[in-house]
Structure 1
């Protein structure tokens, strides 16, 4: 691309009077002629513009990836060692995945069975769930209920509730949540009592602030090792990422 543009520029400059080889020294008419030469070339060869756009996008993506990697490093403790979050899968796994989720998010629901298959099928992945309600009051209520379940009844009950909430189609209300807990054989009264624990709001606020620092604007968002990926990630891609992480650590 550079050679093509240089060729265009040289062709235009060769048509100029002797001694007028510095564009800044050109007269107004000579500059207009130069611009017309370049314009004509680009119109005849639009693929040059596409090349330039592709290079620009690659550079922007590289800058963004670098910034995200730095954000992961700067927030590593909050991401990987927070006492507010549930740790599932293999707590001693050689690969850690962090998921920011909202129970009312359609793509979170789509990702959930694939994340479950990845973690259970691998057996050596540590999965951290970040409650990150951003889609309104029902999302907040669902997250508060999930966190309260963990506080009142422990991690296993939280995993049951997490699975149930992510597949729940009914509106999230106190009544529907009570019925959901009862259907799971969980003590709904204990969960509702735990919802008044300050730790519930602290957890949500902590994760929201973390999300802001990380530049996370939607769900699901994942951290695979030192890589932040925002949006739904199909299972084959997750498998590939995990393989790359393991290879890199060897």
Structure 2
């Protein structure tokens, strides 16, 4: 929700407030995710990412072997099959997923931290300064000695993903946000612990192992930048200030925004708050 608002407040209005995105098949700007260099990554799509995330969760929760993981992958892919658009056909996605899981069971999963040392799909809710509510769901939390490691799985183009790890990028902001959540949570003891975020690009087609890991170091300055963004976004949301957008010419939300008087909406909310 936070990232959606930061990238385009108008998309937050149509997606989260009016909930029109799925009904009207609206999409944000593709330029927001454009890579600096051409990438030829296989077009697997969001549904494939969801299926892989659900499979990884089951692998660790139920200590699945490779055959068990394939069975879960097949079940989840079939469940989401009707949602697949503009990507590889289902059979090709299945082959691609089998290859990915084989790579992970060969090179990553056996040596990664297992169930007794991790929290899976950890939902954390905190209030910053007692009034700014934020929450997030972390794919995997690893407790490794004096390190608390936030692990986030990514599918899709690794090249684009690595670019997004740079200061100001979506994954950089996500890493700072997760770091903030973990440190602010009363459920997680962080005293004398180091919190780090590790992104695992599960289908890195340029890696010999088929995947790659990137650990991002978050500083106190990074966290303060994201805190300020949260505070600003919170006050804009409360004031129904959706006047700004990403202004990308291919953003459905900004185009649709021309038919909404956002200044009047903001004024009405301000007037009601003063009553």
Report if TM-score (shorter chain) is over 0.5: no
Name the structure with the higher helix share. 1
Normalised TM-score (structure 1): 0.24
Name the structure with the higher strand share. 2
Structure with bigger gyration radius: 1
